[in-house]
Every structure is written in C-alpha cells, then in structure tokens.
Amino acid sequence: MFDPGPMPVPACLIWTVMPPEQWLAGWDQVHRDEREITDGHRILLVDRRDGRRQVARLISTDPLDYLNEAYFPGTQLP
C-alpha cells in the first residue's frame, strides 16, 4: 500500500528568532473538536476539550462584540 509519508510542512514567510525547524513543529498533530453556534449576527466557534466547551473564536459583524468578555476566546460556556 502506498505510504504518502509525513505531511509536508506548508511554506510560510516567517520573521522570528525561533529556529525555523521549531516553527510549525507538530502543526499536523493539532486536532480540534470545534462547532459553530450562531447567535443572531454573531457566530461562535466553540472548542470542546475535556468535556468542557469554550469559545475558540468569535465572528461578528459588530466590532464591539470583540470587546465583550462573554465572547473572549477561552470563555467557558455552560
């Protein structure tokens, strides 16, 4: 059976003091269990980890939503 081998690291332009080989190291190990919750004009990307749900990202048409701590990334949801 054909083995495609490890996933190639995508090319990106970086300006960092971190050694290039460390940049993106383990990027293909990232696994997320994310769902979208739509609430009017805003969409919450919710990440589920250890049985808890937390805000991973907010997408909203109202810029003031991004200053509302209820929608900050990392906020736990009931």
Name the minimum Å distance from CB 2 to other proteins: 19
Instruction: In whole angstroms, give the CA distance from residue 63 to residue 74.
Output: 18
Q: Is residue 35 part of the contact set for other proteins (CB under 8 A)?
A: no
Q: Is residue 37 part of the contact set for other proteins (CB under 8 A)?
A: no
Q: Is residue 4 part of the contact set for other proteins (CB under 8 A)?
A: no
Q: Burial of 44 by CB count in 10 Å (0-12 exposed, 13-18 middle, 19+ buried)? A: buried
Name the minimum Å distance from CB 32 to other proteins: 7
Instruction: In whole angstroms, give the CA distance from residue 62 to residue 7.
Output: 38
Instruction: In whole angstroms, give the CA distance from residue 75 to residue 39.
Output: 16
Which one among 24, 37, 70, 77 touches other proteins, defined by CB under 8 A? 24
Residue ranges binding other proteins (CB under 8 A): 8-20, 23-27, 29-30, 32, 57-58, 60, 63-67, 73
